[in-house]
């Protein structure tokens, strides 16, 4: 019990780690990246040049869309 | 002393009901009010969506209900994403999307810019311009097939009058090269007023004081247009583009009435192609996978739309 409490206190007392995760998991850039993936997926789906791009368009779109849903819950 | 409507409602509530409601917390009451909507949403939106996703992994055919559907994993997706016909259909949709949005934005903005100037009969012109948007797409599709008739069509006559070409020498909806443009023209005619209205809202939201300050700084009209009008209307334009993009991606009725997807499959947009797979070829599992692909595409675009909308709200 005391170990658990100690562990909890240790987690709380690690501001550098929290700061780093807060700096990385910021909504803005991740949302932008997901939007770019969605845009790229739509372009790949509808372009008339490469069949391979059409084939892989859905997976790009899916990653972008699911990514967007996840990162829109990140802090501002 | 006057009695408030709330007190009057409380007085007319039967004591039994009042006692029961009194025992409920605000949270429980909120849930009671929201529950019918949630149930309805689950029944008509979420359940069909989950069922479609489930069917997309099977070879189910709705015209063979007694045959057991077999789980085939991602094979439907693999087939769709390597199918040349669907790729062509996506290209037809892209052509339709790109050119309708381009023309609607350019013409819609120009019209809004003109209508925003104060002149006599301004309101009457706005009403006349907005009329096509109020018509049913099926009606529009139907009467444009008459306008496009090579022998009696007004469109061919006007083109012939302006260019000197023989009106019966070309058919807008019967020729492979012209049919994609025929649907672009009709959609542009119908939906440009919508873009115009959004642009007009944007233009009217710009305070005159900004232009007056620019006048004081001796900024030319051209400079005012590029540094004040365009940046301030841009969020509205962006919304119009995204909104029309999502709508046109799902375009069905207008094109079915106008060309039926033809000649050949030149104007067979994805929604028409999907309907054929689902209800003419009865490949339900395959069509479900196709629908999921289109859903993810529209959902992705809608996510960006909501993000843009929030940005506009922040401004």
Residue ranges per structural domain of chain B: 5-53, 81-314
Partner B contacted by A51 (CB < 8 A)? yes
Q: Would the CB atoms of A41 and B297 count as touching at under 8 Å?
A: yes
B8 has a pLDDT exceeding 80: no
Quote the pLDDT of residue A13. 55
To test the contact with chain B by mutation, choose from A42, A55, A66 the residue with the greatest count of B C-beta atoms within 10 A, namely A42
Give the model confidence (pLDDT) of B136-190 as tens digits: 988 999 989 999 988 888 998 999 889 888 888 888 888 888 999 999 999 999 9
pLDDT tier, A49 (very low <50, low <70, confident <90, very high otherwise): very high
Q: Using CB atoms, which residue from B82, B87, B300 is nearest to A38?
A: B300
| Contacts with B93 from chain A: Cβ below 8 Å | 46
Q: Would the CB atoms of B81 and A57 count as touching at under 8 Å?
A: yes
pTM, entire model: 0.79
How is chain A split into domains, by residue range? 25-76
Is the distance from CB of A27 to CB of B60 less than 8 angstroms? no
| Contacts with A55 from chain B: Cβ below 8 Å | 81-82
**Interface predicted TM-score (ipTM) over 0.85:** no
A5 has a pLDDT exceeding 60: no
Q: Would the CB atoms of B82 and A55 count as touching at under 8 Å?
A: yes
Q: Would the CB atoms of B82 and A45 count as touching at under 8 Å?
A: no
Q: Would the CB atoms of B94 and A47 count as touching at under 8 Å?
A: yes
Which residues are CB-contacts of B196 (< 8 A; sequence separation ≥ 6)?
Answer: B107, B108, B109, B111, B112, B115, B129, B130
Q: Would the CB atoms of A54 and B90 count as touching at under 8 Å?
A: yes
Architecture of domain B81-314: Orthogonal Bundle (1.10)
Q: Using CB atoms, which residue from B77, B91, B297 is nearest to A48?
A: B91
Quote the pLDDT of residue B123. 84
Partner A contacted by B241 (CB < 8 A)? no
Give the model confidence (pLDDT) of B69-93 as tens digits: 889 989 999 999 999 999 999 999 9
Partner B contacted by A4 (CB < 8 A)? no
Q: Would the CB atoms of B303 and A68 count as touching at under 8 Å?
A: yes
| Number of inter-chain CB pairs under 8 A, A vs B | 55
């Amino acid at each position: 019990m005391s170990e658990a409490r100690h562990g909890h206190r240790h987690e709380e007392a690690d501001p550098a780690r929290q700061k780093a995760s807060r700096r990385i998991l910021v909504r803005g850039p991740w949302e932008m990246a997901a939007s770019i993936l969605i845009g790229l997926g739509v372009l790949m789906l509808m372009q008339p040049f490469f069949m391979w791009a059409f084939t892989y368009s859905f997976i790009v779109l899916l990653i972008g869309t699911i990514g967007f849903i996840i990162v829109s819950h990140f802090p501002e | 002393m006057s009695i408030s409507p709330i007190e009057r409602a409380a007085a007319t509530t039967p004591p039994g009901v009042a006692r029961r409601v009194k025992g409920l917390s605000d949270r429980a009451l909120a849930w009671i009010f929201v529950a019918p909507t949630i149930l309805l949403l689950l029944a008509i939106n979420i359940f069909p969506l989950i069922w479609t996703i489930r069917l997309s992994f099977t070879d189910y055919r709705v015209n063979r209900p007694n045959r057991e559907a077999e789980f085939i994993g991602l094979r439907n997706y693999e087939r769709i994403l390597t199918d040349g016909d669907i790729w062509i259909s996506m290209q037809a949709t892209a052509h339709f999307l790109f050119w309708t949005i381009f023309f609607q934005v350019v013409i819609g903005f120009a019209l809004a810019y003109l209508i925003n100037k104060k002149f006599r009969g301004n309101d009457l012109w706005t009403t006349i311009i907005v009329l096509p948007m109020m018509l049913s797409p099926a009606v529009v599709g139907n009467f444009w097939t008459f306008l496009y008739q090579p022998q009696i069509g007004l469109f061919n006559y006007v083109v012939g009058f302006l260019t000197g070409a023989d009106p019966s020498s070309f058919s807008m909806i019967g020729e492979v090269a012209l049919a994609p443009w025929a649907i672009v023209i009709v959609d542009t005619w119908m939906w440009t007023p919508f873009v115009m209205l959004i642009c007009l809202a944007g233009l009217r939201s710009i305070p005159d004081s900004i232009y007056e300050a620019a006048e004081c700084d001796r900024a030319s009209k051209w400079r005012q247009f590029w540094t004040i009008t365009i940046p301030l209307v841009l969020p509205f334009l962006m919304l119009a583009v995204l909104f029309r993009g999502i709508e046109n991606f799902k375009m069905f009725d207008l094109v079915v009435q106008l060309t039926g997807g033809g000649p050949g499959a030149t104007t067979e947009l994805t929604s028409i192609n999907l309907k054929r797979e689902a209800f003419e070829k009865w490949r339900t599992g395959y069509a479900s996978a196709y629908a999921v692909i289109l859903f993810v595409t529209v959902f992705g675009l809608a996510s960006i739309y909501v993000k843009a909308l929030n940005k506009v709200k922040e401004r």
